[in-house]
Structure 1
Amino acid sequence: MPSDLEQLLDMGFDSERATLASKATGSLQDAIDWLEKNQETPLDDLKAAAQAQAQSSSTSDEPPALQPGEVAQSLVCNDCGRKLRGQAQAEWHASKTEHVNFSESTEELKPLTEEEKKQRLEELKQRLAAKKAVQAEQEKEDRKKNEKIRMKSTKETQEAKEELRKKEQLKEMQARKREKIEEAEARKRVLAKLEADKQERKRKAEAEKAARAGQAPPPPVAEPAGPTSSGPATSKPASAYTEARLALQTPTGRVMKTFPVETTLFEVAHALEQDGLVVNSFTQNFPKKTYDKTDFGLTLKEAGMVPSSALIVN
């Protein structure tokens, strides 16, 4: 008849675990229960526990046999309900489990038949299969939960990116709107200045004509009113500004830059060249004028680009 260890190996248990189980228990069924209980425990931990048990106890890892002349009787462990064949086996059980409550039983324990062993082994296999099925189902549920968490995290990240993109787009639209308003105001100021210059030239011509004719000169032309809007127009002179805001249309897109009013066009071109642009000239639409390299010595104030101006970079 094969030993308990051989039967455990035939069932497919790991040889080292099966050896530990057979040494730690007194029967095939106990060994199977031990393996089932400790299947998740690392092998190194089981070996260390077995070694510590061997060092701390002088009892054998196998339950002692009945003493000569001992009458076969049945004892029952009141703590776990296990039935034992004699006093020696009860003491061995107590050393392994720390159970101390036993009572006598008139039931005589008979060894398991081969059929009973096969039946118990089959029951154990079914329990192990059921346990593995439960574990597999739990792992499946865990994977589903983890996937939901990952999808939620991905969705929240995408929503955050989309919200950031919308905010950046809104800021860009607002910046373009401000640029258009500033360009419109600058255009109005330029047109008003041109009109004032035109009226002044006309007044001077009439004054010279009146002087030649011996007549009184015409009254000076009043300063044109600034553009009206929902609020009062500013009368701040250009000389009061310390900075000039330039809207620069480059081959790669529009760029807004602010410079001190004493900055020369050469310095503006140099600043753009630091960004990788080659500047040959600047073109201003209002009034229409092109500043080439011979004009780069002019300051922004001298070129009439204060407080703001729109330039095309060539």
Structure 2
Amino acid sequence: MSDRETLLSFGFAPERVEWALKATNSAGLQPALDHLEQHQDDPVPDLSTVSASKGASAPAADDEDEDEEAIAIAASTNAEAKSIKCSECGKIFKNTALANYHAEKSGHDQFEESTDEIKPLTEEERKERLEELRQRMAGKRAVKAKEEADENKKNEAIRRRAGKDAGAIREELQKKEAIKAAEEARRDKLAEAKAKAAVKAQIEADKRARAEKAAREKALREGKVYDVEGGSAQPTAAPAAASVTTGVKGKDYPETRLQIRLASGGPPYTTTLSSDAPLSEVAEFVASQNLAFSADTVTLSMHFPRKQFTPADMSRSLRELGLTPSAVLIAS
């Protein structure tokens, strides 16, 4: 229902309604009610000379046409002095617009003309209607304010829940990162421990090799036979006879025990070969233990005494090269 129809339903005279709407530039129901209340005892001026209230803009051409049409309808209604009655509920309406509004709201479609004239509201009734309208509008504003407050509350709850979820995700990520860092630290510590153990094992192996070499050289100087397994030197009964039998200095050892160290570092390899085996078998053994080496290109050397074996030495036996009964070689 328009503001004009609402005011007419309260029993205001059409010309006063038109005056209030035009004077307030159709700014709404409340300004029109205030104008009617303030000028209820004033005579209605010529509407063609009435201008809009101060600060309001001039009405559009369509609004002026509507005002003129409404004035004509209201004048026609007053001239006929008739009303429209709803045949279904018996309500009486002052004009067609109000009857149409009732039809839209109630769904009633049976209306008839009535000779009953709707009496104008008394001053007391008009004030009661105004107060009722104000209360209704205040109630609508309160309902709207409550709906907005509820909506804001829901939005705030959604925002807080989203923040809480984001915090939980962030905490979970931090926990996973901490677990990952701890696992990496554990792996690093384990790798460091293994490296230290390997270095310590290498140092111990070097010590044993030096002690073994020193003991072997001492045994050779004293004319004794060095027991590789027992780590002790035994005196020889007849060195000259042994020399005649073997054709070389010392005892003729059938096997040679070798410890092969890598120049790049790492645990050494140990093996036992026939004393008649060529040095090339040692190169093949190193290549089989470490894929980084090739039997054709591996280089072998000794620290004590310092010696670098040449490709020609690869065909010579371990006995001929003086590596029996044991020796330490460096592979690179």
- The two structures have a TM-score, normalised by structure 1, of 0.50
Structure with the greater alpha carbon radius of gyration: 2
